[in-house]
Structure 1
Amino acid sequence: MQKAEKRLVAILRRAKQAGISIEAINTYISTEITKNTTKDGQKPTYLQKFGKFKSNFNIFGLITIGLVLTAGKSYFSRVFEGPDSECLIKMPFDETKVFRKPEDCSICKGINKVDRISNISQQDFDEFYALKAKPVIITDGTRGWDAQDLFSFNFFKDLYEKYDTGRTGRTVCQFFPYKTEFDSLREALNMSEARARLEPGTKEWYIGWSNCNDRAGQELRKHYKRPYFLPDISENMALSWIFMGGPGEGAHMHVDNVHYASWQAQIRGRKKWRLAPPPECHYACEEFSAIVEPGEIIVVDTNRWYHQTHILPGDISITIGTEFD
């Protein structure tokens, strides 16, 4: 199903670029499906109905469109109207950068490790790291925060029970279940106490979510603040991302589709980041990894650097971060 969704999205985007509206696609398929006669008096097959489109799209793609239409127009709204549209079928996560522009390999040439620094000035951070999209770990990045003393599984469970897990009047907060069985943040935060404590014999888990709950966000920001090394002219996005889970695989290798570079603070636990250059820079640049310890902040332009995370044995991993310009 995932491959079919990827194929569908590619077809829809080509249709959009060619000026074919969703209304035209929907009208055509609806009309074709309602036809019920052929020369031999039998109902026409889908292949017959879609035959005249063979010159522009392949049959597999059109059959996929037909199947998705039975679930409603929500998926098409997602593709044509933007990410704020709610949908019945989720956008394939790996599809987000299919049509990205080739990257300038100057961002990764000569880099074979992540620098670990502290007490860096705003000017130096901007000049040597932010403007060059060079990954860096700020070892004293969370100084002055009390999040490390407070954030825990139960802290988030109580917070979101108090402030209505995941909904505002605007939309549904994005939730990443990764390899768990959870369908929502609410469901994840209601796992058994034994599993939440990572007790032996319980299933591994790792989740992430965007904190678009304004009231919960206000409460969270009492315990962390804008990192000191960000220039005064830099603006933090209001939306924060939180990732939490036990030892094992975190996020798979991917590249993001967000607006800006981002920082991610390691509140608890230890996380290994594997960073890889874009495919077009494979022969010009190297892949490398770095471990982020509690109290440290890693800064990565995740739109340009492919990245994968792995939670190391020990304490539960809790990270929080956001984009900055």
Structure 2
Amino acid sequence: MSRQSYLRHLNRCTHTTFIFLLVRIKTSMKEHLGRENQNVDVTEVDLVNFKKMTVQEKLDFIDDEIKKIYVFCAKSGYSSCQVENFARPFFQRNVHHLGNSIWVSGKAWKRRAVALTTVLVATFLLFRFDPAYRLACALSKQSAIQILPVWDWTQLYSSRCWLQNPLYQGSPGLQLSDCEICEGVDFVARANDLDPDQLVTWYISRDAPLIVEDGTRAWASRDNFSTLASFAKMFVTDPVLSRYRSCQFATNLRQKDMDHVDLLEKLAQGRMDRFYAQWENCNAWAYKAFRRVFQRPYFLPSTIGLASSSWVFLSANYSGKMFKPVQVQHDLVIFMQVRGSSRVRLEPWQPCTSVCSTFHETLSEGNVLVATDFLWKIDYIPSNNAENIAIAIGGSFDT
């Protein structure tokens, strides 16, 4: 290889490649010539100073180093052809033997970036297409079920935190001393025309449960909740609500791969009876769309922020005997009985079960139950009415 062609080749390399190539050539020469020849004249290379050199200074520096290596090879008895054959692999286009250092032109990187971007955009647009989205969800669900015997992913799915911080002490949780708050609560209070300040001062700050009997009076319209059929029709005809799948769907109906949209479609057609169902609108867009259907309870102060998900509870001619959990995991639980009635159970969390009372209450249409999640575990049973509709939301507050 001539000096001119070598310099032209070096002129296409990056700063780091200059240094890397030089060091690897010297190291390989030492290994190739044998450990008895360790006196190769090697100049220490300072990468920082090397970057500050001009292009001509870099070329002169490396040319001088190559000359030193060539002189050493000549003194060791190698011919010019042998030296050139030895150095040829270092000047190939793709230097695979140099580990991960593969010289790829800028155009190749651009082509790869464009291809990757195209794949990502195509995947995003495909998942925006509802049939493709549903198919992907179905395949994912089937795959998750198949791997369940091999790996129990349910614990990870229900975990609030995937990566534990060893330095985080966390909250000590409910202590026996906290039970003093509820040991004096003998009944669940009921109120009308509740002032927001009273809610915070008399109930929330004391972790005392409350039923607001006129809790839904501020709702402008209840047409969508007049019957289960009208509610189901509203849901399945809305392009947003019918598009996104729900979370934690539960029902007494044992039909394979059923979700809330399938149930509501049958309900809108009058093909569903003697059932209960509940689910969480966990998708942000679905929650916002459903949020337009009902109003914020009038008695909630502005300091209480609502969670970004909501729960729906439906039943028709269902005679339940087992309580079902209200899984609203937020500081404040707001359970709104929109149609029909429900029986609710407020049970203190451990270790307060032996100190505080457990309450059983009936929520009639328009009633709203408000309780803190810190002390109270809430369960419900739909009453044996023809139709029942309830909505639950979570809230956060600072007292």
TM category, shorter:
0.5 to 0.7
Task: State the one-letter code of the partner of 1:123.
Answer: D
Q: Provide the aligned C-alpha RMSD in A.
A: 3.2
Asked if residue 210 in structure 1 is aligned to residue 277 in structure 2, the reply is: no
Provide the residue aligned with 1:131 in structure 2: 205
Residues 1:134 and 1:164: Cα distance change in structure 2 (over 3 Å): same
Q: Indicate the SS of the match to 2:280.
A: strand
Q: CA deviation at 1:174?
A: 0.9
Asked if the contact 1:209–1:243 (Cα under 8 Å) also holds between the matched residues in 2, the reply is: yes
- Runs of 5+ unmatched residues, structure 2: 1-145, 163-171
Question: Which of 240, 261, 266 is equivalent to 1:186?
Answer: 261
Task: State the one-letter code of the partner of 1:285.
Answer: C
Distance 1:222 1:250 in 2: 33
Q: TM-score, normalised by structure 1?
A: 0.62
1:7-48 alpha-carbon deviations (Å, 9 max, x no partner): xxxxxxxxxxxxxxxxxxxxxxxxxxxxxxxxxxxxxxxxxx
Superposition misfits of 4+ residues, deviation over 6 angstroms: none
265-274 vs 247-256, greater mean Cα deviation: 247-256
Provide the residue aligned with 2:343 in structure 1: 272
Q: CA deviation at 1:293?
A: 0.9
1:49-90 alpha-carbon deviations (Å, 9 max, x no partner): xxxxxxxxxxxxxxxxxx96654575465367858xxxxxxx
Question: Which of 244, 258, 279 is equivalent to 2:314?
Answer: 244
Distance 2:183 2:202 in 1: 14
Asked if residue 110 in structure 1 is aligned to residue 110 in structure 2, the reply is: no
Q: CA deviation at 1:108?
A: 2.0
- Runs of 5+ unmatched residues, structure 1: 1-66, 84-98, 199-203
Asked if residue 155 in structure 1 is aligned to residue 230 in structure 2, the reply is: yes
Asked if the contact 1:165–1:185 (Cα under 8 Å) also holds between the matched residues in 2, the reply is: no
Distance 1:295 1:79 in 2: 32
The percent identity for this pair of structures is: 23
Residues 1:73 and 1:277: Cα distance change in structure 2 (over 3 Å): closer
Question: Which of 353, 357, 360 is equivalent to 1:286?
Answer: 357
1:294-318 alpha-carbon deviations (Å, 9 max, x no partner): 1111112245312321222323110
Task: State the one-letter code of the partner of 2:222.
Answer: Q
Task: State the one-letter code of the partner of 1:230.
Answer: L
Asked if residue 176 in structure 1 is aligned to residue 246 in structure 2, the reply is: no
Asked if the contact 2:278–2:314 (Cα under 8 Å) also holds between the matched residues in 1, the reply is: yes
Asked if the contact 1:112–1:287 (Cα under 8 Å) also holds between the matched residues in 2, the reply is: no
Provide the residue aligned with 2:303 in structure 1: 233
* Bigger RCO of structures 1 and 2 (CA < 8 A, at least 6 apart): 1
Task: State the one-letter code of the partner of 1:181.
Answer: R
Q: Indicate the SS of the match to 2:199.
A: helix
Provide the residue aligned with 2:195 in structure 1: 121
Q: TM-score, normalised by structure 2?
A: 0.51
Q: CA deviation at 1:211?
A: 1.5
Q: CA deviation at 1:186?
A: 2.5
1:78-132 alpha-carbon deviations (Å, 9 max, x no partner): 367858xxxxxxxxxxxxxxx9654621342122321110111111100111122
Asked if the contact 1:175–1:185 (Cα under 8 Å) also holds between the matched residues in 2, the reply is: no
Q: CA deviation at 1:257?
A: 6.6
Provide the residue aligned with 1:321 in structure 2: 392
Residues 1:72 and 1:240: Cα distance change in structure 2 (over 3 Å): same
Task: State the one-letter code of the partner of 1:158.
Answer: K
Distance 1:254 1:209 in 2: 12
1:226-252 alpha-carbon deviations (Å, 9 max, x no partner): 111111111111211111113422873
Residues 1:275 and 1:195: Cα distance change in structure 2 (over 3 Å): farther
Q: How does 1:86-101 map onto structure 2 within 5 Å? A: 101=174
Task: State the one-letter code of the partner of 1:78.
Answer: Y
Distance 1:244 1:216 in 2: 18
Residues 1:100 and 1:173: Cα distance change in structure 2 (over 3 Å): farther
Asked if the contact 1:113–1:289 (Cα under 8 Å) also holds between the matched residues in 2, the reply is: no
How many residue pairs match? The answer is: 235
Provide the residue aligned with 1:145 in structure 2: 219
Distance 1:72 1:287 in 2: 38
Residues 1:159 and 1:71: Cα distance change in structure 2 (over 3 Å): farther
Asked if the contact 2:240–2:285 (Cα under 8 Å) also holds between the matched residues in 1, the reply is: no
Larger Rg over CA atoms: 2
Asked if the contact 2:337–2:389 (Cα under 8 Å) also holds between the matched residues in 1, the reply is: yes
Distance 2:222 2:380 in 1: 20
Residues 1:124 and 1:156: Cα distance change in structure 2 (over 3 Å): same
Asked if the contact 1:249–1:309 (Cα under 8 Å) also holds between the matched residues in 2, the reply is: no
Q: Indicate the SS of the match to 2:354.
A: coil
Distance 1:228 1:314 in 2: 27
Q: Indicate the SS of the match to 2:222.
A: helix
Residues 1:113 and 1:166: Cα distance change in structure 2 (over 3 Å): farther
Q: CA deviation at 1:212?
A: 3.1
Asked if the contact 2:340–2:364 (Cα under 8 Å) also holds between the matched residues in 1, the reply is: yes
Residues 1:251 and 1:263: Cα distance change in structure 2 (over 3 Å): farther
